[in-house]
Structure formats: structure tokens, C-alpha cells
A = this chain, B = another copy of it.
Amino acid sequence: MTPLTVIKIGGNVIDNPAALSQFLTAFAKLPGAKILVHGGGKIATQVAEKLGVQTTMIEGRRITDQPMLDVVTMVYGGLVNKQIVAKLQTLEVNAIGLTGADAGTVLAQKRPVTAIDYGFVGDIIDVDSGRIQAMLMQGLTPVYAPLTYDQTGSLLNTNADTMASTIAVDMTQRNAVTLVYCFEKKGVLTDPDDNDSVIAELTPKLYAEYKAAGTINKGMIPKLDNAFAALQNGVAKVIICHADEVGAAVSQQGAGTVLSQ
């Protein structure tokens, strides 16, 4: 099994040009095959506002009507994705910017309307890991925007955390995959106000205890549920760390939180 690192960076890094540049420099230095999945950031909301497209969030999730889908296609699939790709090219990473529609790599279905109509939001149904593998074999580094497509030819807004974990799981068929979630904190914290209270290693048992005690807060729970599910589905290692510390975290130099089974 070839080592492969799948890294997700969040919107807070995207929103800060200096932080993004620093992250991309660290990403470029990571050895071996790698895939980057990026979030959206606040730019989409800002662009939407200027274009007169209203942003509606329900339970922290963006409702994606047709005008908003156009905005996120522009911002995530165009502006953010291509700026990252062009920057990585200067760092000698042969990046290729993709949405799930490109090369038919990440097919989704529009989320069924229940109590909430999320609009053009996609739940992933198939990853063409063979296609992605072929790109890696050619020395390319896929950079995914959080967009997928469905069989009717519609693009769909897709949660970047889920996109990263789903791709990571699918790539385990041929690789020993490390999945890294980079965000604005140094890892999973026991005290959200103390950035040095990083839990070095988190097992499902410890996670259950922290949840029961209320130590791990609400915002982290979907991320961690997602992460443990990836481990259960064949991902070799999951790391949650600060974007600035991705190098140290991946090379096991004691940064971030490592999830284990």
C-alpha cells in the first residue's frame, strides 16, 4: 500500500491570505502522494451579498438555491480553487483543481427534501478512486473544491469535511491513507479557551467520555463522528491539527490530535 495524505483545510485559512500562503508552503513540503480538499470561507457570503443573493443558514448549513449555487460554483470552483492551484504550481506541486464533476470523480445526489429543503446540496454516492489514482500516478496533486454533481448535470454544494473523508475512505482500496483536518485550533482541546490543552490521542472510548462530560463541544462532534467513521472504514490514521502545524502533525512530531481505534 502506497502512503497517501488527504488534507482538508477550512474556510478560516482560505479567508486569510497570509495563513493560506503559509499553509500551502507547508503542504508543498509534505512527502508523497497527497490530495487537498478546501472549504469555502466567507468570500462566498461576501460575493453573494454584493450580487444581491441572500444567504440563509439553517443549523450552520448554507441553504443553496440556484443563485447561491452559482455563487459557490464561482467562488469555490473558480476563485479559491484556481488561486490555490496557481500558487501550488510555484511551489513545485503539480496541482490540478477539480470539482466532483471533473473527470466524473465524485458523483452525488441532491439531498431529499424533508423538514428542511437544503436546495442544491449533494450527498456523495460514488467516488471514482481509479481516476484519482491515475492522476496521483502521474505525479499530479488533486485539489478539490467542495462541489459535486448529479446525473442530471447539476452541480451540488457539498460539505468539505464529508468530501475529504469520503475520498479518503475510497482511496484506501489502493493506499495507506492518512486523513488530516486542518482548522484554526491546535487539535481537539479539553478547554476550548486554552489552545495548549490538546488531546494528543483520542480513542472512541475517550471520545465517548469527553462527550458525556461535555468537554468536547457541539461544533466538534460532527467533525469527530466523521473522523471516527473514516477510521472504521479503512483510513489508517486521522489527525486534527492547526493549519500551521500540518508538517509536524503529519510527520508525527507531536502536533495535533491523532485519532486511533
Residues of A within 8 A of B (CB): 47, 50-52, 70, 73-79, 81-83, 85-87, 89-90, 94-99, 101-104, 131, 134, 138, 140, 147, 149, 151-155
User: Of all chain B residues, which has the CB nearest A148?
Assistant: B86
Contact yes or no, A83 B155, CB < 8 A: yes
When C-beta atoms are compared, the residue in chain B nearest to A154 turns out to be B86
State the oligomeric state as a number of copies: 2
* Chain B: CB-nearest residue to A134: B138
Collect the chain B residues with CB atoms within 8 Å of residue A85's CB: 99, 101-102, 149
Q: What is the CA–CA distance of A155 and B149 in the complex, to the nearest angstrom? A: 26
Give the secondary structure class of A's interface: helix
Out of B79, B147, B154, B155, name the residue touching A74 (CB < 8 Å): B79
Which residue of B50, B75, B82, B154 is within 8 Å of A147 (Cβ)? B82
Alpha-carbon distance A70/B99, docked complex (angstroms)? 19
Complex Cα distance, B86 from A83, in Å, reads: 21
CB-CB nearest in chain B for A100? B86
Q: Given known contacts A78-B75, A101-B97, A140-B103, is B149 in contact with A86 (CB within 8 Å)?
A: yes
Can you name the residue of chain B whose Cβ is closest to the Cβ of A140? B103
Q: Please determine whether B149 and A89 come into contact, CB atoms closer than 8 angstroms.
A: yes
Kindly report which residue of chain B lies nearest to residue A53, judged by CB atoms: B50
The complex places the Cα of A50 from the Cα of B46 at a distance, in Å, of 12
* Closest B residue, CB atoms, query A135: B103
Complexed CA–CA distance, A122 and B87 (Å):
16
